[in-house]
Chains A and B, each alone.
Chain A
């Protein structure tokens, strides 16, 4: 019996789901081992009978929390897809300001009180609301990692994410460290699994896959200081995807 699979989005750009569609020919293999019963970005049909739910996007409003909890109760397995779902990502930057201020900034004087669509709470990642069985991190997700996750779930095995830094992948790719080129990079404290795609292409890592559980943040700050990265630059880069992860 092929597991039934459904995709849902919350506050997101749908870019992670687009990456799934970007699997191109591999999609044929994918639909051989699972049955997709709901995937708004790719098809019209929808069904509430699913085993595995993929969730893209962060949780912003009470109505989102409700919908997410309903999905959780239907699904045997729930997978957070992408940075917004896994760690809140860029969506969490808004948590810096009170909700009222943000609303005023964006919507001006429009009368939004009592309108549930605009009843916004501080941004939360999916696992801050319901139990999550697997994460596929990144902004956007890595297609191969997604394929591996689906294969693991179909195989009945808990998918495992790397717990080592991006530096490991960068070195295996024989990249010259960006710090040596006067740039700065969050690779040493960010979870690997993207095959160091940004540093390999000349851009410092932004930490979109989330910081390591056991990150050596003080050692990292030392390194950044020694490379003349200002406190302001440091905070901006740290907070982009990992807002207040370390409380700063």
Chain B
């Protein structure tokens, strides 16, 4: 530890400010509150602050950030926009730094977010010990009043001097270069230790339950009345998630200048409390009620993130509790209530164990690809055959998806419809529903699109070997299913009996008519098709009735048959019921689900089904693994 006298500390900060090429951002006053903002002089720095309006996460993951810059007057012109500005953050409290460490794990973990990585690498963090405590904070109860790592320097402001602890070589270098610091006396070290030791008792409010027990308490209280009670008062304004240091979900938008040439893709903070957080192109919202959204935030912080990363994602800063107008956002109050009036009604919300599938590319920059072939399949569905400009194969597994970009409009997740096969071409079946898919419909052969991926886990073809396969496809669910069907047909000897059931709205909605015909003619494949309804004069001689009407008539051995079901959200409940009636064990049922997706790698947060990321643990799921999840079906 080093000690710096007050004048020396001022001089240190002023020298940093004067240093060219270095932005110094510290805590200063804003009205009666405090914020992190650029410092003009050391006099502005207020290390005695209680809490800032927004956490310092805004310096590493800004509220609005440019991701890509593109020029749509050219066939394919895009580059990543990175922020390489060197920064020093001064005054980060331990709880906020612990939150930054959590954010590092999420953004620099399995798939490195390059934009975050560049900014993080160029930021030096000078943390500071807590001097004043805001009314609603409860860091003492969570152990987040002190921090052990993540800082380059940690400064403790005492009455008459500053004690600085060096955390990294970069921090030590900075201190040596810009400050007049001496070795601390034992007395100074003791004063710092005492300050930290005294902190917990100074917090006005105490948690009545250890944070590592939160998961258990939440497991027992999914149906507790508090969720409804509080949600009734909830404005779903998103304030709690926006001011929270551990909230890191984001949304992505494309915008184009008035010249219709230059544009950019930006990301902006998003929150699960907002109504349209889970909105997809078809208009469906997967977490519709305020109760579900209000409850989700607590489960994410107290159960899902701990299960996934091992940390409880609340640092007790009290910002949400202070700034919530309806006064319902206080984790301390909610957890204390749950602890004291627990319903003890155990409901496991598991996250299936899945190997992380690596994505070998710069995460957010799409690759150029060409539309080679385009064929309408129905009024609203079109088949596209696409290949990457680089000539390399996509390298996908059946059941994976890509993110398709049209610059200026946006990006949409589309399942891959073709089996891996050989060569660089792959097929997408696209339904014209939202902005991206409608614009895609106007493109022609030779036009370019951007491709990211492949993402998702894909079907586990190993587990299907030697089994009878019962494929059940509803509507455009046939698109991802086809990639697996054709894969298994290409490797026919590895699978036993194959039955394909396909249902759609009416005869004009039938997709992949060529494949349907050839499946119908194949030996060793039992193919049945049905339509929900048929307008007279549609020339349909086959079955009329929903897809479930085909299931009872199928003769299968439940123990050795795997059912693979893909269709619109509403279909699953009914099909699974029929399959259970036929005696199929839960683990013999495979489904593929969809949700709103923006990143494809478990960071933007939109695709969550309880704690499960559809883009990481899915989109293919074993029914046994997710049947308990209330948000799944």
By a beta-carbon cutoff of 8 Å, the part of chain A in contact with chain B is 26, 29-30, 32-33, 147-148, 150-151, 154-158, 160, 163-165, 167-168, 171-172, 174-177, 179-180, 187-189, 214, 216, 218-220, 222-223, 226
Interface contact B439-A33, CB-CB below 8 Å: no
Interface contact A176-B53, CB-CB below 8 Å: yes
Return chain B residues, CB-CB under 8 Å to A174: 30, 35, 53-54, 58
Picked from A147, A163, A167, A172, the residue with its CB within 8 Å of the CB of B64 is A172
A-B contact count (CB 8 A): 100
Nearest chain B CB to A34's CB is how many angstroms away?
Answer: 10
A150, B326: Cα distance in complex, Å:
38
Interface contact B442-A156, CB-CB below 8 Å: yes
Choose, from B104-112, B154-162, B229-237, B493-501, the stretch at the interface: B229-237
Interface size class of B (residues with CB under 8 A): 35 or more
With both beta carbons as reference points, the residue of chain A lying nearest to B233 in the complex is identified as: A219
Return chain A residues, CB-CB under 8 Å to B323: 171, 177, 180
Decide yes or no: A171 and B442 within 8 Å by CB, A33-B260, A164-B275 being known contacts. no
Interface contact B243-A214, CB-CB below 8 Å: no
Interface contact A223-B325, CB-CB below 8 Å: yes
Return chain A residues, CB-CB under 8 Å to B257: 29, 151
Interface contact A172-B232, CB-CB below 8 Å: no
Nearest chain A CB to B440's CB is how many angstroms away?
Answer: 12
- Of the A-B pairs whose beta carbons lie under 8 Å apart in the complex, a sample of 9, sorted by A's number, is A150-B258, A155-B409, A155-B439, A158-B435, A164-B238, A164-B275, A176-B30, A189-B235, A214-B275
A174, B63: Cα distance in complex, Å:
10
Return chain B residues, CB-CB under 8 Å to A168: 237-238, 242, 271, 274
Interface contact B276-A163, CB-CB below 8 Å: yes
Decide yes or no: A171 and B238 within 8 Å by CB, A157-B409, A188-B325 being known contacts. yes
Q: Which of B236-272 contact A (CB under 8 A)?
A: 236-239, 242-243, 255-260, 268-269, 271
Return chain A residues, CB-CB under 8 Å to B326: 219, 222-223
Task: Give 9 closest A-B pairs by Cβ, nearest first.
Answer: A29-B258, A172-B63, A171-B242, A167-B237, A188-B235, A223-B325, A188-B237, A174-B54, A164-B274
By a beta-carbon cutoff of 8 Å, the part of chain B in contact with chain A is 30-33, 35, 53-54, 58, 63-64, 232-239, 242-243, 255-260, 268-269, 271, 274-276, 290, 323, 325-327, 408-409, 435, 438-439, 442
Interface contact A176-B239, CB-CB below 8 Å: no
Decide yes or no: A172 and B269 within 8 Å by CB, A155-B409, A163-B275, A167-B238 being known contacts. yes
Interface contact A151-B260, CB-CB below 8 Å: yes
A172, B237: Cα distance in complex, Å:
12
Return chain B residues, CB-CB under 8 Å to A157: 409, 435, 438-439
Picked from B236, B258, B439, the residue with its CB within 8 Å of the CB of A26 is B258
Interface contact B256-A155, CB-CB below 8 Å: yes
Nearest chain B CB to A199's CB is how many angstroms away?
Answer: 13
Interface contact A179-B325, CB-CB below 8 Å: yes
Q: What's the dominant secondary structure at chain A's contact region? A: helix
Which residue of B53, B234, B237, B242 has the most chain A CB atoms within 10 A of its CB atom? B237
Interface contact B232-A219, CB-CB below 8 Å: yes
Picked from A26, A150, A171, the residue with its CB within 8 Å of the CB of B239 is A171
Return chain B residues, CB-CB under 8 Å to A165: 235, 237-238
Return chain A residues, CB-CB under 8 Å to B235: 165, 167, 188-189, 216, 219-220, 223
Interface contact A216-B236, CB-CB below 8 Å: yes
Return chain B residues, CB-CB under 8 Å to A188: 235, 237, 325
Decide yes or no: A216 and B63 within 8 Å by CB, A172-B269, A188-B325 being known contacts. no
A123, B276: Cα distance in complex, Å:
32
A188, B233: Cα distance in complex, Å:
12
Return chain B residues, CB-CB under 8 Å to A214: 275
Nearest chain A CB to B404's CB is how many angstroms away?
Answer: 15
Return chain A residues, CB-CB under 8 Å to B32: 176
Nearest chain A CB to B228's CB is how many angstroms away?
Answer: 13
Return chain B residues, CB-CB under 8 Å to A148: 255
Interface contact A151-B243, CB-CB below 8 Å: no
A28, B290: Cα distance in complex, Å:
45
Return chain A residues, CB-CB under 8 Å to B242: 168, 171-172
Nearest chain B CB to A2's CB is how many angstroms away?
Answer: 11
A151, B290: Cα distance in complex, Å:
34
With both beta carbons as reference points, the residue of chain A lying nearest to B259 in the complex is identified as: A29
A180, B259: Cα distance in complex, Å:
42
With both beta carbons as reference points, the residue of chain A lying nearest to B240 in the complex is identified as: A171
Interface contact A155-B260, CB-CB below 8 Å: yes
> A171-B54, A219-B232 known; 5 other A-B pairs, CB under 8 Å?
A165-B235, A167-B235, A168-B274, A188-B237, A222-B233
With both beta carbons as reference points, the residue of chain A lying nearest to B243 in the complex is identified as: A171
A175, B30: Cα distance in complex, Å:
9
A147, B256: Cα distance in complex, Å:
10
A30, B237: Cα distance in complex, Å:
34
Nearest chain A CB to B231's CB is how many angstroms away?
Answer: 9
Decide yes or no: A216 and B238 within 8 Å by CB, A154-B260, A155-B256, A156-B439 being known contacts. no
Return chain A residues, CB-CB under 8 Å to B35: 174
Return chain A residues, CB-CB under 8 Å to B237: 164-165, 167-168, 187-188
Nearest chain B CB to A8's CB is how many angstroms away?
Answer: 22
Interface contact B275-A151, CB-CB below 8 Å: no
Return chain A residues, CB-CB under 8 Å to B53: 174-176
Nearest chain A CB to B294's CB is how many angstroms away?
Answer: 11
A81, B39: Cα distance in complex, Å:
42
With both beta carbons as reference points, the residue of chain A lying nearest to B238 in the complex is identified as: A168
A188, B327: Cα distance in complex, Å:
14
Nearest chain B CB to A189's CB is how many angstroms away?
Answer: 7
Nearest chain A CB to B115's CB is how many angstroms away?
Answer: 18
Return chain A residues, CB-CB under 8 Å to B236: 216
With both beta carbons as reference points, the residue of chain A lying nearest to B258 in the complex is identified as: A29
A180, B439: Cα distance in complex, Å:
45
Picked from B31, B255, B442, the residue with its CB within 8 Å of the CB of A176 is B31
A25, B556: Cα distance in complex, Å:
71
A133, B53: Cα distance in complex, Å:
39
A222, B232: Cα distance in complex, Å:
10
Nearest chain A CB to B506's CB is how many angstroms away?
Answer: 27
